[in-house]
Structure formats: structure tokens, C-alpha cells
Amino acid sequence: MRRRELGLLALAGWAGQAAAQSSGGFHDSGLVGTLEGPKILTDPAQRPKQFKEAPSLAEQVRAGKLPPVEQRLPEDVMVIQPLRSVGKYGGTWRRGFIGPGDRENGNRLMSADKPLFFDASGTELQPCLVRDWEVSEDGRRIVLHLRRGLRWSDGTPCTADDWLFWFNELYSNADLVPAPAPELASNGKPGRMVKVDDATVAFEFAEPYFLFPQMLAGDTLVGGGQTRLQSDGRTYALYAPAHYLRQYLPKHTSVEELTRQAKAAGFGNWVEHFKYKSDWCLNRELPTLCAWRMVQPINTQLWVLERNPYYYAVDTEGQQLPYIDRVQMTLAENPEVVNLRAVAGEYDYQERFIDLGKLPVLIENQDRSGYRVHLDLGFNGADSALYPTLTYTDDAEIGKWLRNADFRRALALGIDREQLNQAFWLGLGTPGSVIPEASMPESPGEEWRSKWSTHDPAQAGRLLDKIGLKKDREGFRLRGDNGQRLRLEIAVAQTLSPTWPQQAEMVVQHWRKIGIAADVKVMERSLWYTRAYSDQHQIALWTNNGTESLYLFPRYALPVDPLGGVISNAYAAWYGSNGERGQAPAEPEMRRAFELMRAATSQKQEQRNETAKEIWKLVVEQQWGIGLVGLSPAFMGVRVVNRTLQNVPARTAISQHCRTPWGGHPEQWYFS
């Protein structure tokens, strides 16, 4: 840790380094601030008496195109106390994205549609769409109080009926949702949603589900929000705009008519057409509850969002949020172009795709390009990790070895993580396994960071000998089926980390020294996902960001998410469907991990933490994910911020469930 602190100070290159080194390390470097964020005021007495709106909306009111702001806001309006100062309206937030596969870039900006959210620390629950919630003493009934008077972006009321519509007509439709959400079951037993009144819904479970409120705030199948989970062919979340989407369902329109409409729009059937209609990235007609609404889709050079005139939040002076008029994301050919444009000052706030390796250049150009650099440290163990696919079947011989725990351990021991750390993390990361940072209550203990995760080529060789992998004359291991050289493939997506291809190439060089030949295959993000979700990768390079809160985003620790992951989607389908689909795990250790995961839903927090520790021990012992380097700002923790942009936190939590950058509440940012 001290080495990392001194490294940051050296990079900063500012006067007063010596004093900073002796008195505060990271924080005195000026790059890492204190976690902070605006405050959500929940006392009804703090509700403003009068309301104001953006000038562009006021013009529409005067023209009779919109009702007055008082009629557009809900009775239970959310009041946000800005981080530092009440803002002013106007401006366009410039940002970069890298193509149609980069949906998460926009999903994160639309996170105001989640049921609950977390505070600045990422640990305490806060209201969002849900103004309040209750958990029964036995944990079997969770009641959600929605915001009365909430409206969709087209002005239509949003009520409990929109939640029941989703549960009864979308979630229960096998054509749209082939696999149920594990998060809607307690210990594997499905729950149900019931309407209490127009502004209240309840979830009832056969067994206690004390974890459920956290699930509603996490990036889960019940907490992701409409934009996150009803796009890209997904039909999860917990609600949907019934008034708009029901017309595209067979229950309300004949299949013949729906098929005709689908064909006319260029789709093969009504299901494909419905998924397009419910995709906020492509369909600008789809109503939203977010701060901005899409006006120009993702499959263009400019992906554009504009303010939602019915957004449900105001500041302490009654000004309807957001302050910023538009978000404009400009297409970049690849992450390297994003970094070049960031250095040139062409973005107002960009953390996605920014390369930690560019930190010296970013710091050097701050004054010239008019931005500030912030570093947000992660709590996840692996900014980069290798995931052998346990149910890979395209090559039976390769699949056999990927399912062998000693083979995976040998691969892990053959990696020189310190070299990776110096080359790609500037020495600021922490080499080791995939476990979360030691301060996290779910961490199993620091001894598990080095388990199978040190550089020990000799031990790796002994393991490979033990499992029967023979060598050729050059020392490379041979296949058991035809005697040819065993050759692995690492699949890398052209995505979040610009240096992932180079990291993979370095790992390939390390593996040569233990007799393992491998190749790196770089592919566009959408193709990478398609192959990952069908278990076609041999070994996938990805991150385990989000797993520091294991139950909220477990897909990069265990294959339990039917939406897709990188360990085994066949296992995930089996887990999510309670054995009705997919493939049962062959490994007893995986079955044990699944049992622990299911049991955790009924446990209170202290016991859940102990269960998580047991799961992490299995994950590391079995090397289902081979950690490289983590606990750094490398994964969306390097922020480039226009100096005129105000109310931006000095540090944000970059955990997956905090939905960076939404954890900083961009609706209260403004340009000075």
C-alpha cells in the first residue's frame, strides 16, 4: 500500500510532494478524495413549497405543449440537497462510447429508474423510485411504497399496475422470460408480487428473504431498473410501461396482427419486435422514468439523451432536475481514441475506457485542456481476471483440462502478476486472487489473496506433470487425444480496458515457461458477449468488478446469473431455473457453492457475511476465476472532469451496484 501511495505522489509531479508523502499518502496527492455525494431529504417537511423548471420546459408550458411543473412532479417528489451548491440550468454533457455493444455506458446514466439505490459509500440503502419500504419481522413479506403521482416521460401515471403488468404479463411469459430470476426466490422457492393499492406493492416469499431490499438496490435482475434490464433482448426488472407495451403482446393484439407488424418493421416474429419496442437504446418512443430520455439511438454516430420533463426529483429550492439539458455521447473507434479525446479536453466527464496507464499524460495536460483528474480506488480483487469456461465443449480435449482444478491452479501459478502490475497498473495495483479488499465484511482473509496466486513456475510444472500432461522436445505440453501441442485461447473483448489485449499477451509469455502454448483472440464486444453467453470461449479475460458485494453482483464469482457470465452459462441456467434447464454442475464444490448461495437469502447480515466468506474460499481454492491485479482505480476509477462541471464528488464508489457514474447523482451536476 505504501508503494502505491508513493507511486501516485511521484506521478502527480506537483510541488509539496515531500510533505504529502509524510502526512497523507493517497489523499494528499490530490488525486484521491473522500467518498461523498448529495443528500436525499426524506422528511416531508423539507419538501419545497414552490417549484421551478428549465427555461426550455417553461417555454413548452407557455405554448401549451406541457402542463405546469407542479402537475408534472409527483406528490412524493424526491428532494436532493446538492453536494456543494444549488445549480443552474443548461449545457450538454459530452461523453464517449464505442458502439452498439457499449449499452452499459448509457444504462449507467439512466440509473434513476432503480427501485432503491445506495448512498455515497455504497453500503446504506436510499430511496429512489420507491420512497419507503418495510420488511416483516419474519422476513417473508417486503412492502414497497411507490412515489404517489409518479409519471412516465410521456406524462402517463406510473402506478402499481405497471409493476403487476410486468410480473403477470412479461415475467410470466415464457416467450419473453425463458428463465426465472433467482433474485425473486428465497432459498430457491419463488416469491410473488401483489398489489396493495395504486402506490404500494408487496413481495411475499415462502421463506425469509432479509436480503431482498439490498437486491432491489443492487445491479441484479430485480434491481437493475427498466433501462438496464429491458434492453438488448432482456425482459427483467420489476415494472414496465403497461400503457405503451401491452399493445405489442398477444393478450391484447392478435398474433396475426403482431406478426404482420413485426414483418413490416423488419423483424422475424412478435417476440423480436417486442424486444425492440422495450429497448430504450433503440426505441425513442419508449417511456422512461429517468432524468434524461433518449432522442437519438445508440446505432448512430451520436447517442443523445435530453431532459425528461416529468423527472421526479427537485433540488432544495424546488428546481426540477436535472440541471444539464443534454447528454451527447460521441462514437469512438476504440478505447484508445476515447483516451486521446479525453487528453484533448473533448469530454466533460469520462471514466469509462480511461486507461490508468495514461495517468502521467492525463495529469500533464490538465491545465492545457481544462479538466481535473480524480482517482477512485476499487474494492474488488481483480480488475483483470481469467475465467476458464467450465462447460466449454467445442474442443473436448481442451474442455476436459479446463474442468480440471489442478490445471487451473497451474495456470494461476504460472503468471507473474508483479510484472503485470508494473507494466499496466504503474505499480499501483495489488497482485493476487479474486477476493475483495480486506475491509469488506465478506472478505475471507488476506491469506486467501495469495492462495494459488503467486508466481511459482516450478509448482505449476509439478501439477501439470501430476495430471498427466506430457511434454514435447521443446517443453510444451501435449494433447492426450492426438499427441499434438496443447494450445489454449484467451478471448479478449475490445472494451473497458484498453490494455487487456496486451495483458493477455504477457500472460501467454508467462505460460510458455510452464509449457502451455496459448493465443490471444481480440474481438468486438458484442461478438465477445455472444460467444461468452453460449460458453464458446475457452478462457475469457474480464474483470470481477462488483463482486466485493457478492450477493449483489455474483456473476463473476459464481455462475448463477441467467443473464450471462463467463464461468458457465449452462450452470447459470440450471441454477436460475431450479434444475429445469441448463446443466447440473459436475463439481461437488460448485454444488456446495450453489447451496450456500441459496441459503444466504434467508440469513440476516452477519450470517450472510460468514456464508460469503465460505463461498470465496471455494472460488479461490477451485480457481474458477484466476485473479491478476486489482484493488486499484483501473476499472472506471480514472475520471477526467471538466473544471466547469460542479457538484462532482471528489471520490465515488466504483462498485458495480453503485452504477458509476450515477453514484455521484449527475442530475445535480451543472456547468458554472
Question: Which residues, listed in sequence order, are joined to residue 430 by a DSSP beta bridge?
Answer: 630
3-state secondary structure of 406: helix
Single out the residue of 421, 423, 392 nearest to residue 488, CA to CA: 392
Structural class in CATH, domain 39-240+278-325+643-671: alpha beta
Q: What value does the mean pLDDT of the chain take?
A: 93
Name the grid cell of 380: 474488488
pLDDT tens per residue, range 32-89:
999 999 999 999 999 999 999 999 999 999 999 999 999 999 999 999 999 999 999 9
The residue whose grid cell reads 431498473 is 225
CATH number for the domain formed by residue range(s) 384-630: 3.10.105.10
Name the grid cell of 553: 453482483
Segments of 402-486 assigned E as strands: 430-431
Of the listed ranges 125-129, 190-194, 230-234, the one predicted with least confidence: 230-234
pLDDT tens per residue, range 138-156:
999 999 999 999 999 999 9
pLDDT tens per residue, range 340-355:
999 999 999 999 999 9
Rounded Cα distance, 594 and 453, in Å: 24
pLDDT at 23: 33
Rounded Cα distance, 311 and 639, in Å: 27
Q: Where are the domains of the chain?
A: 39-240+278-325+643-671, 384-630
pLDDT at 12: 43
Segments of 38-170 assigned E as strands: 39-41, 78-81, 92-97, 116-118, 125-127, 130-135, 141-146
Angle in degrees, 0-180, between the axes of helices 405-413 and 457-466, rounded to the nearest 10:
160
Rounded Cα distance, 450 and 453, in Å: 5
pLDDT at 70: 97
Rounded Cα distance, 78 and 84, in Å: 18
pLDDT tens per residue, range 597-627:
999 988 998 999 999 999 999 999 999 999 9
Q: Residue 101's Cα: distance from chain center in Å?
A: 14
Sheet holding 130-135, edge to edge: 130-135, 141-146, 200-204, 192-197
3-state secondary structure of 306: strand
Q: Residue 528's Cα: distance from chain center in Å?
A: 17
CB atoms within 10 A of CB 328: 17
The mean per-residue pLDDT over the stretch 494-516 comes to: 92
Rounded Cα distance, 518 and 531, in Å: 18
